[in-house]
Structure 1
Amino acid sequence: MRVEDFQTTAAIPGTAGLGDAGSGTAVLESIARRVRWTATAIVDAANRGRPNVSGIKVGGHQSSSASMVEIMTSLWFSELTEADRVSVKPHASPVLHAINYLLGDLDENKLSTLRQKGGLQSYPSRSKDPDTVDFSTGSVGIGATATIWAAMAHRFVSDRYAASRKSGRFIGLLGDAELDEGAIWEAVADPSVGQLGELLWIVDLNRQSLDRVVPDSQIMRLQGMFEAAGWQVLTRKWGTRIQELFAHPGGADLRRRLETMPNEEYQRILRSPDSEIFDRLRSSDSTPAMETLLSSLTATEQAAAVRDLAGHDIGLLLDTYKQVDPTRPSVIFAYTIKGRGLATEGHPNNHAALLSTDQMEMLAKASRMNLGDPWRKFQPGTVEERACSRASLRLRRRHPEPASSPQNPASLPWSYGDRISTQAALGRFLSDLKRAAPEVAHRVVTCSPDVASSTNLGGWINKTGVWSVGERQDWFADDVERVLRWIENSHGQHIELGIAETNLVGLVSELGSTWSRWGQPLIPIATIYDPFVARALEPWSFGMYAGGQSILVGTPSGVTLAPEGGAHQSLTTPSIGLEQPECTAWEPAFAQDLEWCMLEAMSRIGIPGGRSAYFRLTTRPLDQALAALPTDAVLLERRRRHAVAGGYRLSDHDPVEEKVTLVGVGAMMPEVIASAARLKTLGIRAGVVCLTSPDLVFESLQSRNSPNPETHAIGLDIVDALFPRHAPSPLVTVQDGHPHTLSFLAGARGDRTISLGVSDFGESSDLQDAYRIHGIDEASIVNAALNLVR
């Protein structure tokens, strides 16, 4: 290329060397120009185009979208297949909607509804947007890592169900500032990830975050971290046109000058008038050859040259995709400009900046569009329209035919021992499920962050094996003293990750999405130490928002594992479970309750309108006789129905006779039952209520008080069954967790209530000392009851 051929206009992105209008790259550049306009207009219409009565800004991210346009255009209109799944960085959602519109996947009347009720969501939402969105993003870092866990979930499903084996790529599009998130590196570092060749990340390296220009040293550190984890790293900085310019005399000096200047200086050049660029590029060590080269370019050409970055060079991007190694995960660092082609281009404070009307008019002119008619598509018969039609056909997906889910049994035919903890009962339940309902058990996959044996999954693992991305030799197969048989292959049903709870819940969320992605429902059950539920909460909650359905088991919980001390004691998790949307929290006390509730929770996994579950279990063995299970079949079924609705009464007298009602949850039931017996010796008749799910009882109360109550799933108003309105009495509630969790029960009938629980950090002790320290022992319960009735 001759220097004088370097012709472009910075205000018209994608027109540099447009050449033959029918060439593939030229067509894609023309489409990219339309995508950039449409994405910018979507945000403009949301802010300038509709009334704002509240005065609260609508917002949007025109600049963050602009930097992604060529990357996303090259993918959707040339590279992707219908089997590929893409996670789009949160602030580029307008680009995704613009592309879907041009592909015929989004109605025109939705383009002006960004951040409006029933319209386009602020960030890509798989469950709430009206067009095709593969991954919900918005919680920074989690959307990108979801591609890792989706790839792993797809492999697991493919190993079990041959019909799901059509493989695509899992592509994450993320901003460079997103790589500051710890969740990214916990996922990248997991050893199993290094074998996922279908995984590709493309980093929009615009060198800006929300508040600042990213420091210069960042890219080298990021490259090294990915390489250390076994990823292929491809870095693309300069576009093909300026690379050819670098080959001219003085070009090497120009390249050195551009690559050694701080990011902040480069951004300042972008904000400068074209006439100042030559002087800004000159420095104390400039060479005459570099200055001669620059002098041979017009000011406009100089401006175009410094803006010629690889992330905006569609031809270079397409060539880069061909170099991706399919045998290991890959990351492409594509240098871009935040706000590319907009009036806000390169400004350090452009993150949430909105173009003015005059600036939108300028962009419309540069984009060959009209602000008064912003949604015009390409004319039929044009090369661009034909390219859009071909891409639409290529990306068209068939909705997966859902596999039929086996019917869950209501209970299993075996009983439990005299003394057993709910944690141990979980392991027993899973082993028995494989015998009693093998079709259901076949859909179960357990996961753990290196705590499988300590959360009682050993028996299940011995029966089902450990699933891994690749076959691994069992070097302990001949060890006769080994209790846990850790056989890793493609047929197992347990997946073990490293000690990173965010990875665990990210994986189970994607395992819990296979029913909607590929038509194969799974029942993912993850075990985690309960104190670390809060650490995993955000990604798990976001996974539910994205449509993932799973069961999280937190164990051991509370202060009941007293010798472990405050480091392994959980206080706030009961209220976390109660407050989490699209999730039912359970805390059964007895083994039979656990079985019933777990089967109920499993029946709501992997189906439209399903619901996740959180189980809070303990290692304290309880005397199962305290459950007083009815022997009559009708009464036993009644007990089961109450247990799965949220709780049941253990008292055998009429509630009208009660002077006080003791309400317990989980491991506290022995103390609650013993307190009722002690009160009886004092002449005070106490009722006993065992809650299996305060969450469901709260829902029942809310439904009862709602002007439009919904019928309970099993047709039982549990709050009235437990606390009949015709028989009010004071309440003492007891929970191995924060006492406010059960304080809502005071509103069931307006009863005076004392709520006992744990509201301070614990310390190492024996069980009874721990209960006394926190005031949840028998004596404290009895005293609370006496204070209410005397």
Structure 2
Amino acid sequence: MTSDLLATLEAVERRVLWLSTATVDHANRVRPNPSGLKVGGHQASSASMTSIMTALWFHTLTAHDRVSVKPHASPVLHAVNHLLGELDSSYLETLRSFGGLQSYPSRSKDPDPVDYSTGSVGIGATAPIWGAIARRYVETRFGGAGTGRQYSLLGDAELDEGAIWEALQDPMVPGLGEIVWIVDLNRQSLDRVVPGIAAERLQGMFAAADWQVLTLKYGRVLQELFTRSGGDALRTRIDAMGNPEYQRLLRCTPAQLRERLPGSGSTAGPITKLIAQVDDSDLLTAVRNLGGHDLGALIEAYDTIDDTRPTVIFAYTVKGHGLPTEGHPQNHSSLLTADQMRRLAARLGTDLDQPWQPFPAGSAEALLCARAADRLRRPQAEAQQPPAIPADLGRPAPTGTGNTQQALGRVLLDLTRQAPRAAGRIVTVSPDVSSSTNLGGWLNKVGIWSSTERTDWFADDAETILHWRERPAGQHLELGIAETNLVGLLGELGATWSRWGQPLLPIGVVYDPFVNRALEPWSFGIYAGGQSILVGTPSGVTLAPEGGAHQSITTPSLGVEQPGCLFYEPAFALDTEWCLLAALGRLGKPDGSSAYLRLSTRRVEQPLAAVPTDPAARERRRRQVVAGAYTLRRTERPLVTIAAMGAMVTEALVAADRLAALGFAADVVCVTSPDLLFRAIQARRGLHDGPHWILDQIFPSTRAAPLVTLVDGHPHTLAFLATIHQVPLTALGVTRFGQSGALEDVYRHHGIDTDSVVEAALHLVS
């Protein structure tokens, strides 16, 4: 690199530092704030990243690369995008304002280019791993995704997150040579300087996972000092120095530095003599001259990345580098004063009164930014329309007994025969539970995806039922037992329609009790535009013999509460087919959404569904199923209505028969989506856009009666149904941890057995 280019990069870096700092300053100190609430922002966390990001965007990145930026460095990303011409200066005044720049990078809400939404610690860091797999899947199956590195810029404190290490351990990761993580090793967390020196241990953990490990600890100024007489002693002293002691040196005057830096012992004398030859200004520069702020060292490291395996770069930095708050243990959310901002502007060659002024036209800095913008400009991907999904596969209503979990695998196989184009876009993901969640037949049909063909050594074993054929044409991805990894991948597979114009129909299957564990990263994937289907199965206390640890209680209400997601809990096999097809039809498009299906292993008599044989009546039933509810039993004049969800329809129907024998007529409603019913209520009240015809068909005012709701989950999931007509309600469900036992014993324990339903109805009608 020429000295002129390096000088220009350093000037751009100073402008990035200024813009990111001024953006936070304007949001907190300049912009009117009538409420008086803290706006916030992270000037110090941004400052430690300016060198890393300047070298990356203005020298190394290509148009095919994508970058996940640590949450607290979002002002740096916006500053970079502004210099590249991707963000008008007016937006720099809108950080954390309504409709403006978001607090953390957001693909769906920020006005400038953002590759990965970040904000929830650990999730944004691992997202490029799953993005890399999604890109490879699209490229091998359909083409058009190209190549390119996937960068994660993360803070060292973020490495405390367990999701980081779960991702590193997954067997699919070591072969992903496009993965590059750059760790901002500023040795500070939210409230303190991290006391231990953990860098070597962390480096060893990455190396053990077969990652290339690069370390940038010292910059050119310190490296030059190390070559002088006494330099070895200085390096030994700094290497052995604890983080808090080093950070304290950053707050010292030159005189204090000369007193503290030599320390005690055999190295003190040589260090004292060495720094005596260095003037005050150079000494202050040297002590903070770390590798993560040396543009030349950073670019050299980027150029030596091994693209055959994942790479991690540990870049030592100073939190708040270049700011008056640098190195202070409580600088995480600190804000510069007006006087400090003015002095900073003078030092960086800008103007506080005109904070967004551009580089002079024709200047070396302006030309460098223009060249970088041209290099990084991505061609617009031609968006492919997702395939048409049939609303009904036409299968006759099943006879005998069956469960909704079995129906899942059957529908997927039916799609391969009746809608092969749609089936070809489906990709399933599971954390080592494929066979136990009834995906075995699907796996045997479509195979396992792998970027290369692998030998199935059990192909000729007659006793092998599940055939594990790994090949680029496969449509199932199997991860290790880590739900956070699964939903992270699910989110990225669900975002390919917006990244490369290639829509996928991703379905992830987990045990329903573990949906809680997976919820945060899946929710974040939805927020970032990832559209997918999450299937939780088996579910509820219906898992009676498994005990309380494997009995999901809160998941039905989570399905109602999750934004950007439809929730279904079908009761019968045909209901499952219709709900799954409806969910698939909403994927891979700008106005689409994700879905959560809660399925059960409890066997239910399928004729109880009473599916009409007349084609028009069957279609009416299907529309009601996918809209949220349908009537299973309708009496002439109901004294009570029982609304049940999922496998609990058996208890509801038996209870209705017993009530009828006692002279109390009871309607029975099968709820397939409390989520959609709640939206319908909101729409009828003018609080939500959408249809509400389902309420008039299933809960007409002329049939309003006291209501018993029944769900294998928390009872408040259906309690809102009483507000449709303001009727008396008894909500039955599960509110306690369960225990092992026979199904009837467990149901009785939780008060969701038939006796409890009858008793609740009698109490209401009497």
- 1:478-493 equivalences under 5 Å are 478-493=460-475
2:618 counterpart of 1:639: no
* Alpha-carbon contact 2:715-2:732 (below 8 Å) kept: yes
Which residue is 1:725 aligned to? 701
* Alpha-carbon contact 1:505-1:536 (below 8 Å) kept: yes
Which residue is 1:222 aligned to? 202
Which residue is 2:333 aligned to? 352
* Alpha-carbon contact 2:634-2:666 (below 8 Å) kept: no
Q: Once the two structures are superposed, what CA deviation does each residue of 1:626-654 show, in whole Å capped at 9, x if it has no partner?
A: 00000111111100010000010112445
2:546 counterpart of 1:564: yes
Secondary structure at the residue paired with 1:747? helix
Secondary structure at the residue paired with 1:454? helix
Which residue is 1:241 aligned to? 221
In structure 2, distance between residues paired with 1:731 and 1:351: 53
In structure 1, distance between residues paired with 2:220 and 2:469: 51
How many angstroms does 1:417 deviate by?
Answer: 4.5
Q: Out of 298-307 and 193-202, give the one that drifted further.
A: 298-307
2:187 counterpart of 1:207: yes
How many angstroms does 1:240 deviate by?
Answer: 1.9
In structure 2, distance between residues paired with 1:307 and 1:240: 11
2:30 counterpart of 1:54: no
Q: Once the two structures are superposed, what CA deviation does each residue of 1:645-669 show, in whole Å capped at 9, x if it has no partner?
A: 0010112445xx1110010100101
Amino acid at match of 1:153: A
Which residue is 1:761 aligned to? 737
Which residue is 1:463 aligned to? 445
* Alpha-carbon contact 1:195-1:469 (below 8 Å) kept: no
How many angstroms does 1:739 deviate by?
Answer: 0.7
Which residue is 1:251 aligned to? 231
Secondary structure at the residue paired with 1:194? coil
Q: 1:519 aligns with which of 494, 501, 520?
A: 501
Secondary structure at the residue paired with 1:785? helix
Which residue is 2:394 aligned to? 413
Secondary structure at the residue paired with 1:726? helix
In structure 1, distance between residues paired with 2:628 and 2:726: 20
Secondary structure at the residue paired with 2:110? coil
2:96 counterpart of 1:115: yes
Q: 1:366 aligns with which of 319, 341, 347?
A: 347
Which residue is 2:86 aligned to? 105
* Alpha-carbon contact 1:277-1:299 (below 8 Å) kept: no
In structure 2, distance between residues paired with 1:398 and 1:118: 27
Structure 1 alignment gaps of length 5 or more: 1-17
Q: 2:155 aligns with which of 143, 153, 175?
A: 175
How many angstroms does 1:754 deviate by?
Answer: 0.4
How many angstroms does 1:404 deviate by?
Answer: 2.3
Q: Out of 721-730 and 87-96, give the one that drifted further.
A: 721-730
Amino acid at match of 2:15: R
Q: Once the two structures are superposed, what CA deviation does each residue of 1:562-583 show, in whole Å capped at 9, x if it has no partner?
A: 1111121001100011000000
* Alpha-carbon contact 1:413-1:436 (below 8 Å) kept: no
In structure 2, distance between residues paired with 1:227 and 1:331: 9
Q: 1:95 aligns with which of 76, 92, 100?
A: 76
How many angstroms does 1:770 deviate by?
Answer: 1.2
Q: Out of 285-294 and 136-145, give the one that drifted further.
A: 285-294
Secondary structure at the residue paired with 1:684? coil
Aligned length: 764
Q: Relative to structure 1, is the Cα distance of residues 19 and 420 closer, same or farther in structure 2, using a 3 angstrom cutoff?
A: closer
How many angstroms does 1:287 deviate by?
Answer: 4.5
In structure 2, distance between residues paired with 1:556 and 1:408: 26
How many angstroms does 1:87 deviate by?
Answer: 0.2
Which residue is 2:725 aligned to? 749
Which residue is 1:272 aligned to? 252
How many angstroms does 1:779 deviate by?
Answer: 1.0
Q: 2:571 aligns with which of 576, 584, 589?
A: 589
Amino acid at match of 1:753: L
Which residue is 2:5 aligned to? 24
Q: Once the two structures are superposed, what CA deviation does each residue of 1:725-753 show, in whole Å capped at 9, x if it has no partner?
A: 23220001000001111110111100101
* Alpha-carbon contact 1:738-1:758 (below 8 Å) kept: yes
Q: Once the two structures are superposed, what CA deviation does each residue of 1:760-781 show, in whole Å capped at 9, x if it has no partner?
A: 1111111111111111111111
Secondary structure at the residue paired with 1:305? helix
Which residue is 1:608 aligned to? 590
Which residue is 1:787 aligned to? 763
How many angstroms does 1:305 deviate by?
Answer: 0.8
Which residue is 1:191 aligned to? 171
Q: What is the RMSD of the two structures over their aligned residues, measured on CA atoms?
A: 1.2
Amino acid at match of 1:464: V
In structure 1, distance between residues paired with 2:2 and 2:680: 68
Q: 2:299 aligns with which of 290, 314, 318?
A: 318
2:753 counterpart of 1:774: no
In structure 2, distance between residues paired with 1:163 and 1:57: 45
Amino acid at match of 2:573: A
* Alpha-carbon contact 1:152-1:469 (below 8 Å) kept: no
Secondary structure at the residue paired with 2:355? coil
In structure 2, distance between residues paired with 1:488 and 1:218: 39
How many angstroms does 1:608 deviate by?
Answer: 0.4
Flag as ranges the 4+ runs of structure 1 deviating above 3 A.
Answer: none
Secondary structure at the residue paired with 2:30? coil
How many angstroms does 1:290 deviate by?
Answer: 2.5
- Aligned-pair identity (%): 59
Which residue is 1:505 aligned to? 487
How many angstroms does 1:494 deviate by?
Answer: 0.5
Which residue is 1:69 aligned to? 50
Q: 2:356 aligns with which of 342, 355, 375?
A: 375
Which residue is 1:10 aligned to? none
In structure 2, distance between residues paired with 1:232 and 1:636: 59
Amino acid at match of 1:422: T
How many angstroms does 1:191 deviate by?
Answer: 1.3
- 1:549-698 equivalences under 5 Å are 549-654=531-636, 657-698=637-678
- Give TM-score scaled by structure 1 length: 0.96
